[in-house]
A and B are shown apart, each in its own frame.
Chain A
Amino acid sequence: MKIAVLVKQVPGGDSPLRISDDQLWVIEDNVNFITNESDAYAVEEALQLREKSGEGEVVAVSFGPERTQRTIREALSKGADRGIHIEDSYPYSSDPLKIATALSEALKEEQFDLILSGLQSDDYGFGQVGVLLGETLGMTTATLVMSTELSDGSLKVKRELESGWFQWVSLSLPASISIQSGINTPRYPSLKGIMGAKKKEIKSVAPDSATAAAQAISRVYIPQKTKKTEMIEGTADQQVKRLAEVLKKEIRVV
């Protein structure tokens, strides 16, 4: 079983977000870049699938600027076998079709049985690269996966539907599936894993720049506030006093 897991590096949730001068992204200086949350679950699922089958290979794949190598290295330190980095000259590409085309070019020779990705990235959140890649490579696809079962060359996944419903779907391989957060408990890298990761290979590939753009972000900005919010200021005690008053006298629920 040869498994690719797509990982993306995104700004961590607690990073300060100041808009860059070109108004296309954020100033990266104080941004704490992390592995996209649902991608971390996808890495764990890939490792567990390899461990359960007792053989095979997990390859961590990422598209992004040079800093992205840290995210690949993190997957390697958790147990992925090798990495592929499609090196983007642009620090914040936001064209899913173009990214999927670059991934497809870089991965088609690898003949993966299974591609795992996170459901969506926490930066742009277009939520489609894994499915686009699956279609481009002629694979079956499934999204919002909350459980996987692999047996005799076929894959069964539990898909999340809306409003608390689920559904089991069987897919023929090769398949590309996108993983929903919460499917497992991602492991932390061990010290041995971190040391071992330094020796693992990360292959760098240049994307084919000839691909035409399909869509583009033209401006990034701070949302307009529409609702009037009373911000309760002061010390904790003052805030508590006002809150109690609001609950008792204004909303009248206590």
Chain B
Amino acid sequence: MSILIVIEESNGAVHRMSREAVVAGQALGRDFDLPVSAVLLGHDTSDLCQSLDSTQLHEILQADHPLLGSYSSDGFSRALAQVIESESPRYVIAGHTYMVRDFFPRVSAKLNIPFLADNIAYRVEGGALTLTKQILAAKLVADVAPAGDGPCIISFQSAAFQEEDVAEGSEATARQVSISLEDGSIRTTSEEPFQEAASAVDLSSAEVIVSVGRGIGKEENLPLAQELAAAMGAELAASRPVVDSGWLEGYHQIGSSGQTVAPKLYFALGISGAIQHVVGMKGSKNIVLINKDPDAPLFELADYGVVGDLLEIVPKLKKALQA
């Protein structure tokens, strides 16, 4: 029995959320007194393996196969299922990345084991594991637990653990794990990843950002935010619903599917604070939120909060700042 951390590659390095997953896995290893190992799915993963050299791990398993050279849900799910069957870990841990969302449920169904997804914390009581996840747009949280004693798969939300907390140690042993994938087992073909129209504004270097959410109400109200941004010398950004509605171009979007920013001031207008948005702005030095919903989760993160009608407050604030 062991803790097995699934490592994902991102731009030739270990994905940030995989490093956070290592922290989670190491903590679980201490709590359950189990050895902690990592698994790399791919082809020729020796560079990635080396980059884990100083990380305190029991073993680094290389699940290597030519058909795993580029990501596919078919290939990665079969490979990980084979690793779990041969290694019998108690917990399989990963960051809740887009790739993990894409193929982990397949592993859960193949092996008929639970996938406890997108958790923010865990605790151990009487030897039993309980996970915590946000529900109902982060307005509430829920304790979730696996029903049986068998192995289970667990993913953690971005920033649930801090990557700086990775425990360093002596060199882990690398070991090849054989994967069998016959020709034709990958039923999909993937083209090269691409980015859409390049960003006209570099939000990541902006010192002040005025960001608009669904609470702006309608497209006709956008000038209020634009004028406030102009008065403050700020860049304009938005949460996903505003971009989905076509009110602003995609390059204004902050969050997991948009840009990540850390300005001196993040001035949020009518943003509720879904986690997909929060991961893109939680590093901001100061957060101010105006929202008419006092239960908006982003108030939890804000340094200053105003419960009120932004359509009334924003024009007045613009005037006050220009006075």
A interface with B by C-beta (< 8 Å): 11, 13-14, 17, 19, 26, 94-97, 100, 122-129, 131-132, 134-136, 140-144, 159-172, 180-182, 185, 212-223, 225-227, 229-232, 236-237, 239-241, 243-244, 246-248, 251, 253-254
- What residues of B have a CB within 8 angstroms of the CB of A172 in the complex? 187-188
Judging by beta carbons under 8 Å apart, are A17 and B139 in contact? yes
Tell me, in angstroms, the Cα distance from A222 to B142 when the chains sit together.
9
Judging by beta carbons under 8 Å apart, are A128 and B105 in contact? yes
- CB of B120 to closest CB in A, whole Å: 9
Taking the complex as formed, is B115 at the interface, i.e. its CB lies under 8 A from any CB of chain A? yes
Judging by beta carbons under 8 Å apart, are A17 and B136 in contact? yes
Taking the complex as formed, is B193 at the interface, i.e. its CB lies under 8 A from any CB of chain A? yes
Judging by beta carbons under 8 Å apart, are A218 and B304 in contact? no
Tell me, in angstroms, the Cα distance from A134 to B187 when the chains sit together.
13
Nearest first, the 4 closest Cβ-Cβ pairs linking A and B are A182-B244, A128-B105, A131-B105, A214-B114
CB-CB under 8 A for A247 and B114, given A26-B136, A141-B106: no
22 contacts between A and B (CB under 8 A): A13-B272, A19-B140, A96-B108, A97-B114, A127-B101, A131-B106, A135-B110, A141-B102, A163-B260, A166-B193, A167-B192, A167-B193, A172-B187, A181-B241, A213-B147, A217-B143, A221-B140, A221-B143, A223-B138, A240-B317, A243-B317, A254-B232
Judging by beta carbons under 8 Å apart, are B321 and A160 in contact? no
Judging by beta carbons under 8 Å apart, are B141 and A214 in contact? no
CB-CB under 8 A for A136 and B109, given A215-B144, A220-B135, A253-B208: yes
- What residues of B have a CB within 8 angstroms of the CB of A225 in the complex? 300
CB-CB under 8 A for A132 and B257, given A122-B136, A123-B135, A215-B144: no
Judging by beta carbons under 8 Å apart, are B265 and A247 in contact? yes
CB-CB under 8 A for A246 and B288, given A169-B189, A169-B190, A215-B147: yes
Judging by beta carbons under 8 Å apart, are B140 and A223 in contact? yes
Tell me, in angstroms, the Cα distance from A140 to B109 when the chains sit together.
13
- CB of A163 to closest CB in B, whole Å: 7
Judging by beta carbons under 8 Å apart, are A169 and B101 in contact? no
Judging by beta carbons under 8 Å apart, are B108 and A97 in contact? yes
- CB of B4 to closest CB in A, whole Å: 18
Residue of A nearest to B257 (CB): A160
- What residues of B have a CB within 8 angstroms of the CB of A254 in the complex? 231-233, 321
CB-CB under 8 A for A229 and B299, given A127-B101, A181-B244: yes
Residue of A nearest to B315 (CB): A240
Residue of A nearest to B232 (CB): A254
- What residues of A have a CB within 8 angstroms of the CB of B148 in the complex? 212, 214
Which among B46-54, B160-168, B306-314 touches the partner chain?
Answer: B306-314
B interface with A by C-beta (< 8 Å): 10, 73-74, 77, 97-98, 101-106, 108-110, 112-118, 130, 133-148, 152, 187-196, 207-208, 231-234, 240-241, 243-244, 246, 250-251, 253, 256-260, 264-265, 272, 286, 288, 293, 295, 297, 299-309, 312-313, 316-317, 320-321
Q: Contact check: which of B10, B118, B250, B297 meets A127 at CB < 8 Å? A: B118
CB-CB under 8 A for A169 and B317, given A131-B102, A230-B303: no
- CB of A227 to closest CB in B, whole Å: 6
Q: Contact check: which of B136, B243, B260, B321 meets A247 at CB < 8 Å? A: B321
Residue of B nearest to A180 (CB): B257
Judging by beta carbons under 8 Å apart, are A217 and B144 in contact? yes
CB-CB under 8 A for A96 and B191, given A216-B144, A229-B305: no
Main secondary structure, interface of B, reads mixed
- What residues of A have a CB within 8 angstroms of the CB of B116 in the complex? 215
Judging by beta carbons under 8 Å apart, are A217 and B142 in contact? yes
- CB of B183 to closest CB in A, whole Å: 14
Tell me, in angstroms, the Cα distance from A105 to B231 when the chains sit together.
59
Judging by beta carbons under 8 Å apart, are A253 and B77 in contact? no
Judging by beta carbons under 8 Å apart, are A214 and B304 in contact? no
Q: Chain B CB within 10 Å — which of A127, A140, A226, A229 has the most?
A: A229
- What residues of B have a CB within 8 angstroms of the CB of A227 in the complex? 300-303
Residue of A nearest to B116 (CB): A215
- CB of A35 to closest CB in B, whole Å: 15
Q: Chain B CB within 10 Å — which of A13, A131, A136, A222 has the most?
A: A131
Judging by beta carbons under 8 Å apart, are B74 and A140 in contact? yes
Judging by beta carbons under 8 Å apart, are A236 and B309 in contact? yes
- What residues of A have a CB within 8 angstroms of the CB of B152 in the complex? 215
CB-CB under 8 A for A125 and B118, given A217-B144, A237-B316, A251-B286: yes
Judging by beta carbons under 8 Å apart, are A251 and B265 in contact? yes
- CB of B158 to closest CB in A, whole Å: 10
- What residues of A have a CB within 8 angstroms of the CB of B321 in the complex? 244, 247-248, 254
Judging by beta carbons under 8 Å apart, are A247 and B232 in contact? yes
Judging by beta carbons under 8 Å apart, are A229 and B303 in contact? yes
- CB of B285 to closest CB in A, whole Å: 8
Judging by beta carbons under 8 Å apart, are B118 and A126 in contact? yes
Tell me, in angstroms, the Cα distance from A163 to B134 when the chains sit together.
22
- What residues of B have a CB within 8 angstroms of the CB of A253 in the complex? 207-208, 232, 234, 264-265
- What residues of B have a CB within 8 angstroms of the CB of A244 in the complex? 317, 320-321
